[in-house]
Structure 1
Amino acid sequence: MRLNNLIVLRYLDITEDPTFMPVVADERKKCGHVTSVLHQLVEASPHSASTAFRFKGIPDYLNCYRSGKVTPLQVAENIIAALDAEKSNPRLRAIVQSSREEIIKMAKASTDRYRNRKPLSLLDGIPVCLKEEIKVVPYHHRSGTQYLDTKPETEDATVTRKLREAGAVIIGVSNMHELGTGTTGCNPNRYHGTARNPYNPQHFTGGSSSGSAAAVASGLCPLAIGTDGGGSVRIPASFCGIVGLKGTFGRISCSGCHPLSYSTVSLGPLCTSVTDAAIAYSILAGPDTLYPYGLSQPELFLSEVLTPDLKGLKLGIDWTFFKACDVEIESVCRKAVKFLEAFGASVVNVSLPEMEEVRAAHVICILGEMRDFLQPDFNNHFQEMNLETRLNLALASQFTALDYIKANRQRSRTMAFLQNMFKSVDCFLTPGTACPAPRIQASDLQTGCSDVQTTLRTMRYMQLANLTGIPALVVPVGYTGSGLPISLQIMAKWWDEALLLQIGLKLEQFLDKTAKPAIYYDILE
């Protein structure tokens, strides 16, 4: 705790009342026009005949289904063949549970709907996987462990139900860092193994939504759902060169997920493009009576997403914070910022205060809440946990009630800072991660990986959004000299995901050429 400065808050006099749940009211009344905007985004998606590689996204699947070139059933059979190949020669370890019968059943129903020209939504027939932390019938709800839920699940999470109602084809549940307690995706237990980065299988995917990112970046599906308590959607999306969205706290229901950390976690999509993120977000977001923290959320609105430029937008950047990353990442991200300025946006220098205190407060909140929820597991399944999980939960055992209260006082303070700063800027920009995907060492696959300094660098730009509940989006903007992906992150005020999507649509034009991952399945071929 001393070496990692987790005691810093003990010596500070923070007088703000604690905020234990970062729920922010919003009284704005905006006309949504969500459906028409989404259809315009789909129609505007690139369909070039160029031989250059690009990820196949939701619009590509829809074009094939609508034209009859490919059916959801044919897609399902291609995916099953790829999953079978993965079982006999595990290269990715992205999907850890799947059922041929379930996939075929959903795909047949979708094929019939397209034949009758009655698709349920823009996700009808779209292959999707969900992180193992989320309940999906009939799979085991293990959250990356080898001891949880020995019986198949009998009830879907809210997001799973919404995907089924939208007609999506759920191809299985995806791998994850055990209990979400790390950022690499390293999981050496017997059921899971460590997911591999499709761009370089000798490197981590990032965690904890490791399999979700690997599945999308490898082409197994254009959309996956993850959870993000400390960057667990955005880190793997950044490391695997895809788009990742963490919604405002409460925007997407967490009902049916293991409540590992109830005040920092948001659900979100990992996908091939900002358009795909907009489609998934519009279907998954909204109030849920089973999840009280999102009941008072404002109406969804996307009408501003389609603006041709970014004139009038003020992009806040704390350059000292921005530069706290690898030189190669800083250089690429600076160029991406310049690209956004060419659309008419202006950069405003800001100072994000007390980021060290924010870091400590976030760690105390997320690990303290995990330790509380996992008390029975810690007592009864300690020897079945990975070593890194044991270490992190043992560390959290040292937090006191005073530490937790002080961390939530810091949360109140930081949320007040942001509310004031959003009066002068529309969003904040940072790199996605401070380093590229770390290399996997041979011992990691046997005993796990616990590298505190790499963890801190990986999470550096993530924790502000998790502690305060603001939404954040990562978009790929380039590659390192060794071919590993680099991303830029956009953070906006509470409930303003539309602004993230608006800027993200422009930002993804910055990347002239998408590099093809070393492991890639072209499911539509």
Structure 2
Amino acid sequence: MEGESCWLLLWSTAVAGLLLFYLGFVRRVTGAARTAFPRREAGRVAGGGGRPPPMRAWSPRLSGFSLRLCVHLANTAFGQHFLVPLLMRVNNFTALRFLDLAEDPTFVPVVAEEEKNDHPESENVLEILPKLMEVSSRSARPMFNFKGIQDYLNCYRSGEVTPLQVAKNIIATLEDDERSSLPLQAIVQWDRKEILKMAEDSTARYQSKQTLSLLDGIPVCLKEEIKVVPYHHRSGTQYLGMEPETEDATAAQKLREAGAIIIGVSNMHELGIGTTGCNPNRYHGTARNPYNPQHFTGGSSSGSAAAVASGLCPLALGTDGGGSVRIPASFCGIVGLKGTFGRTSEFGCHPLSYSTVSLGPLSTSVADAAVAYAILAGPDPRYPYGLGQPKPSLSGVLTPDLKDLKLGVDWTFFKACDAEILATCQKAVKFLEGLGASVVDVSLPELEEIRVAHVICILSEMRDFLQPDFNNSFDQMNLETRLNLAIASKFTALDYIKANRQRSRTMALLQQMFANVNCLITPGTACCAPRIQDSDLLTGCSDVRTTLRTMRYMQLANLTGIPALVIPVGYSISGLPISIQIMAKWWDEALLFRIGLKLEQFHGITAKPAIYYDILGQ
């Protein structure tokens, strides 16, 4: 026994010695022997080396008990040292660590206007808008149509309906919805006196023929991420905005000055950190998709999309950091615009991700999106990223054909979606060819790196802004929020700098690409709106696989700051909306509207949502 004890002691001593030697003297290598991608020479920005994002990712769908357990473990010492790093590796979030990127990092994607200015200096955007609205209204179909801005204006100008009557109809609808067994939950804060006061003022202006703009008397709502007096600035949480706001965001101020009737603030995915719109906390609940209430609206601007698609209002505002305007617009069958980064002031919005987010409209038509763009775009002294922007333009939007345009399509990337979506979007591209546009095959390299860079940027910036909240209000956050922020905590300064080096590479690539094509076209999302499970309404959910498919075509525009527009082009066999996306070079929103107006002609019969309120005819 003594001999065995002696050998055991010697063996233990040797192991301890080797361990101490390893820990104290062996240099730790922070890279990997085999790189995730081939080593790339400095300065190369085009061709090869890229691949489409994976069609599938490893991650079970978590909800109910499984989500609670995962969130608990992720925020323990075990989770931070083993579980979260595992989740990051299997979802390839560490990919950029193994690459040599020589480009200087671009931390904010602000791009100077090109010296060549295609639109005349004398162009007045506000003079073009009435013509645009008139052309759009002529394309109305004999069956169901969403009620747009022009429909409201026609009723107001003829005296058939007043803004005050519309306001009363909306209030009655909101009251009925709150009593419903299956509430839409699009508007989470509204005030009867505020709505009626704005409506009364607008009605008086119509009677005296002194209206302020094309938005005078038009009902609008704003995402809860945007400050609106006198509502709480909660951003989908139950702990922020404990006191009512006393100052409007710039966007809300501009809407008031235009005479719009702000009917309230709309629901959203908590802190904008998800793509479903699922929000189980006590102040919000999950907004329902008007086309099928058993499916998600998409997020994070969930309530804005639901309000427009249900007919509550023809126009809403959202914010888009990872598709948060375009995803819910796609899922709910309406139009969504993410303008060029800096084009619309973000002053008065929570700075959840300062380098990826753009404020934009969700609307019933491309013309309505153009109206909102014309009124909201422009420099704001309180928002530095947009100070050097060119004058907003609508030049060429009414051109009758597309004969001078080259549409760039990366078909490998384009086809990485559900079969129904692919078939519909391919037909839409063919339709544009029939109007004279030429389709040019392009190759978007480094798509996986772009995906990872975007994830690193948006989650790192969110974690930075929310660090005090994560420490002080952890128990009041939704489970999915806690999980995403736990993952975000493992990104390093090296990851963030590498991601912004990748941003520089990708922006350089796009500058080369837009020298040869006018725009890029993809499907809106790779899947239709996912179904809501019962446990989601109680605990929320985390579904990485669906999130990747939802965001697949979104991240390029957010990372680089280019503008993007989604337009509905059809429906799945189950009746869920399908959309297509157009992306253009920086500051060229006019081109998006030009092509979008044509795509509305391709879109045949508009299906009436299962939940729809006819506010004008009520």
Tell me, what secondary structure is at the counterpart of 1:130?
strand
> Which of 306, 309, 312 lines up with 2:401 in the alignment?
309
- The equivalent position to 1:72 in structure 2, one of 144, 155, 163, is 163
Matched, 1:140 2:227: no
Partner of residue 56 from structure 1, selected from 126, 147, 155? 147
State the distance in 2 between where 1:296 and 1:47 align. 37
| 1:119 partner letter | T
Does 1:159 pair with 2:245?
A: no
Judged with a 3 Å threshold, the aligned counterparts in structure 2 of structure 1 residues 113 and 427 are, in CA distance, closer, same or farther, namely same
The structural deviation recorded for 1:373 is 0.2
The structural deviation recorded for 1:303 is 2.2
1:315-345 CA-to-partner distances (Å, cap 9, x unmatched) read 0000000000001100000000001111100
1:5 to 2:111 alignment: no
Counterpart in the other structure of 2:173:
82
Q: TM-score, normalised by structure 2?
A: 0.84
Paired residue secondary structure (1:507): helix
For residue 367 of structure 1, give the secondary structure of its aligned residue in structure 2.
Answer: helix
1:171-186 equivalences under 5 Å are 171-186=263-278
Distance 1:177 1:28 in 2: 41
**Aligned-partner residue type, residue 39 of structure 1:** P
Q: What amino acid is aligned across from residue 484 of structure 1 in structure 2?
A: L
- In structure 2, what is the Cα distance between the partners aligned to 1:496 and 1:53? 32
Q: Go from structure 1 to structure 2 and tell me whether the alpha carbon gap of 1:262 and 1:48 turns closer, same or farther (over 3 Å shift).
A: closer
TM superposition shift of 1:123: 0.3
Q: Deviations over 1:269-303 (max 9, x none)?
A: 00000000000000000000000000000011112
Deviations 1:441-477 (A, max 9, x none): 0010001010000000000000000000000000000
Q: Quote the RMSD (CA, aligned, Å).
A: 0.9
Q: Are 1:217 and 2:275 counterparts?
A: no
The 2-side partners of 1:200 and 1:49 are apart by 24
Looking at structure 2, the residues matched to 160 and 154 of structure 1 have their Cα atoms a distance apart, in angstroms, of 12
2:185 counterpart letter in structure 1: R
Q: How many Å apart are 1:28 and its aligned residue? A: 4.2
Which letter does structure 1 place at the counterpart of 2:92? N
Structure 1 residue 42 and structure 2 residue 133: aligned?
A: yes
Pair 317,388 (structure 1): closer, same or farther in 2 beyond 3 Å: same
State the distance in 1 between where 2:571 and 2:583 align: 22
Cα shift readout 1:117-147 (whole Å, capped 9, x = no counterpart): 1110000000000000000000000000000
- 1:259 is aligned to 351
Kept after mapping to 2: 8 A contact 1:230/1:462:
yes
Does the CA-based 8 Å contact 2:141-2:605 persist in structure 1? no
Distance 1:7 1:51 in 2: 53
What residue in structure 2 maps to residue 512 of structure 1? Answer: 604
Q: 1:457 aligns with which of 549, 567, 588?
A: 549
Q: Which of 86, 96, 101 is the aligned partner of 2:188?
A: 96
Paired with 1:77 and 1:488, the residues of 2 have a C-alpha distance of 36
What SS class does the counterpart of residue 296 from structure 2 fall into? Answer: coil
Q: 1:99-498 counterparts in 2 under 5 A? A: 99-498=191-590
1:395-416: CA deviations, max 9, x gaps? 0000000000000000000000
Structure 1, residues 236-259: CA drift from partner, whole Å, max 9, x if none? 000000000000000000000000
CA shift for structure 1 position 51: 5.1
Q: 1:91, 1:201 within 8 Å by CA — same for their partners in 2?
A: no
Structure 1 position 91, deviation (Å) = 2.1
The alpha carbon displacement at 1:211 in A equals 0.1
Cα pair 1:474 1:490 within 8 Å, conserved: yes
Structure 1 residues 371 and 71: alpha-carbon distance in aligned structure 2, compared to 1, 3 A threshold: same
Which protein shows a greater Rg?
A: 2
Q: Report the alpha carbon displacement of residue 500 of structure 1 after superposing the two structures with TM.
A: 0.2
Normalising by structure 1, we get a TM-score of 0.99
Question: What amino acid maps onto 1:289 in structure 2?
Answer: P
* Count of aligned pairs: 525
Q: CA deviation at 1:56?
A: 0.4
* Matched residue type, 2:275: T
Unaligned runs of 5+ in 2: 1-87
1:523 aligns with 2:615: yes
**What is the identity percentage for the equivalent residue pairs of Structure 1 and Structure 2?**
78
Alpha-carbon displacement from aligned partner over 1:178-198 (angstroms, at most 9, x marks no partner): 000000000000000000000
CA distance in 2, matches of 1:47, 1:398: 54
